[in-house]
Structure 1
Amino acid sequence: MSKPAASSSPKKKLSMRGGAIVVRGVTLFLAAGKGSKSSTNNNRSGKGKGRKKMSDKDAFKCSPKLMEAAKKDTLLNRKEIEGLYKIYKTLITFSKTSSKVTAKQTSGSSSGIGKQAAVSEGIDRTVFREVLHNTFDIVTENTMMDRIFCVWDKNNCGLITAENWFRGLSLFLKGSVPDQIEYCFAVYDLNCDGYITKDEMFQLLRNCLIKHPQEEDPDESVKDLVDIVMRKIDKNKDGKISLEDFQKTVGEEPLLIEAFGKCLPSEESKITFLTTLTS
Structure 2
Amino acid sequence: MAKSKRTVPDRAEAKLERFRHKMVQRLSSDQQRAKNHGLARNGRVAEALCYMALIRDPARRKRPILPVPNVSCTAAVRQFFRADDGEQAAHLLPGQISIDGAFPWLFLAGPAARQLENLFGYVEPLRADYNKADSAAEANGLTEAFSGACRRVLTGTGEPAADIAAAYEQVWHPGALAAFAAAEAQKRSKPTPPPIERGVGMEYGMILNFEERMAAFEDESIWATYEQLSILGYYKVAMDDVPRQLQPRAIREILALPPA
Between Structure 1 and Structure 2, which shows a larger proportion of helix residues? 2
Common fold, TM-score beyond 0.5? no
User: Which structure is richer in relative contact order (CA contacts within 8 A, separation 6 or more)?
Assistant: 2
Please report the TM-score for the alignment, with normalisation by the length of structure 2: 0.30
Q: TM-score, normalised by structure 1?
A: 0.28
